[in-house]
């Protein structure tokens, strides 16, 4: 049932060898890709300051991931494995939901002109719609810097707890810490999974296998989001929540609520960048 719907949408979207959808869009629509005027302008706004911030956050986050892992391993009790499995599944689902919420928020509202948030945070989302494969040309730091930044405060707080609490206090909240840890790790990996879902050549076999079994975001699944006007399938960690959220019309309902209370039109800025011709 799900596959059928995906196939139907795919026929209207991108071809396997044309992830930028240049061949299949209707002629009066803009032709996506690095040559698009809006894409060029947005790519040019990636600054040295942003690069430095990303590098610092990335290394801090990796240090905290390793440090907290050694602490979680130290207090691990084998008879507790079942709870850890449950916290892993819930952690992945929570990360997938957050990926959708943040992605939806940035795609749908705000603008590149907003102070601080605009250029640093919203710009990559606009660039990604008009040049979807630019992400495959970004290196590890540009791809993952923002996501690693988000997890730093949470993992720093966890480190502080391991440092200051007694072993009894740690045992009492151990399952919760595992849950938070899994969220953090999957949030940090989200844009890497997203990048792989746009990578059509040279992926190692084990990554395509993870995609084929839908353990991480599959290519075919994520292409549904890339059908203009980009209004569904926002979850990009594993994509597990996309179908149920679409079924309950989660994003459409949120958008109607916001539009009726604020008067703002969803995707107004995204549409402006997509229509840019010079």
Residue nearest to Zn ion (CB): 107
Least Cβ distance, residue 218 to Zn ion (angstroms): 12
DSSP state of 59: H
Q: Rounded CA gap, 231 and 33, in Å?
A: 20
Nearer to Zn ion by Cβ, of 97 and 182: the residue is 97
Stretch that binds Zn ion, among 48-56, 139-147, 213-221, 227-235 (CB under 5 A): 227-235
| Nearest CB to Zn ion, comparing residues 119 and 230 | 230
Tokens of 119: 């250029």
Residue 97: what are its φ and ψ, rounded to 5°? -65, -45
Cβ closest to Zn ion, residue 177 vs residue 270? 270
Residue 229's contacts (CB-CB under 8 Å, 6 or more residues apart) are 267, 270, 271
Tokens of 56: 């610092």
3-state SS assignment for residue 18: strand
Scan for tokens 């449950």, then name that residue: 86
Residue 107 CA: distances (Å) to CA of 110, 142, 233, 252: 8, 19, 12, 13
Min CB(270)–Zn ion separation in Å: 8
Nearer to Zn ion, 36 or 230 (CB): 230
Identity of the residue, 182 or 251, whose beta carbon is nearer to Zn ion in the bound complex:
251
127 binds Zn ion (CB under 5 A): no
- Window of 75-83, 91-99, 111-119, 228-236 that interacts with Zn ion by CB under 5 A: 228-236
Please identify which residue in 54, 96, 107, 231 interacts with Zn ion, judged by CB under 5 A: 107
Q: Which residues are within 8 A (CB) of 151 and not within 5 positions of it... i.e. 6 or more apart? A: 61, 64, 65, 184, 187, 188
Q: Minimum CB separation from Zn ion for residue 276, in Å?
A: 17
- At its nearest, how many Å lie between Zn ion and the CB of residue 191? 9
Site for Zn ion contains 255 (CB under 5 A) = no
Per CB under 5 A, which region of 3-11, 69-77, 174-182, 226-234 contacts Zn ion?
A: 226-234
Size of the site for Zn ion (CB under 5 A): 2
Quote the least distance from Cβ 135 to Zn ion, whole Å: 7
The CA distance from 134 to 39, in Å, is 9
Chain positions 230 to 249 lying near Zn ion, rule: CB under 5 A, are: 230
Question: At its nearest, how many Å lie between Zn ion and the CB of residue 239?
Answer: 11
CA distance 35 to 62: 35
Token pair, residue 25, equals: 């869009």
How far is Cα 45 from Cα 39, in angstroms, rounded to an integer?
Answer: 10
Which positions lie near Zn ion, rule CB under 5 A?
107, 230
């Amino acid at each position: 049932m799900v596959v059928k719907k995906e196939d139907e949408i795919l026929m209207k979207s991108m071809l396997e060898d044309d992830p930028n959808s240049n061949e299949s869009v209707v002629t009066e629509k803009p032709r996506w890709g690095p040559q698009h005027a809006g894409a060029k302008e947005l790519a040019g706004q990636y600054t040295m300051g942003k690069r430095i911030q990303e590098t610092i956050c990335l290394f801090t986050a990796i240090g905290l991931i390793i440090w907290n892992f050694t602490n979680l391993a130290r207090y691990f009790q084998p008879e507790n494995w079942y709870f850890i499995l449950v916290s892993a599944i819930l952690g992945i689902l929570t990360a997938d939901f957050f990926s959708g919420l943040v992605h939806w928020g940035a795609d749908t509202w705000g603008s590149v002109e907003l102070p601080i948030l605009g250029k640093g945070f919203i710009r990559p989302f606009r660039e990604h719609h008009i040049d979807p494969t630019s992400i495959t040309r970004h290196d590890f730091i540009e791809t993952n810097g923002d996501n690693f930044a988000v997890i730093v405060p949470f993992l720093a707080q966890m480190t502080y707890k391991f440092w200051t609490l007694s072993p009894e206090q740690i045992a009492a909240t151990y399952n919760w810490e595992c849950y938070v840890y899994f969220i953090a790790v999957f949030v940090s990996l989200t844009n890497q999974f997203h990048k792989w879902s746009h990578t059509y050549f040279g992926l190692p076999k084990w990554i395509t296998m993870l995609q084929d079994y839908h353990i991480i975001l599959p290519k075919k699944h994520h292409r549904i989001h890339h059908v203009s006007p980009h209004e569904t399938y926002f979850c990009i960690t594993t994509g597990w929540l996309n179908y149920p959220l679409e079924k309950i019309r989660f994003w459409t309902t949120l958008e109607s609520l916001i539009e009726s209370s604020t008067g703002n039109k969803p995707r107004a800025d995204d549409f402006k960048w997509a229509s840019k011709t010079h």
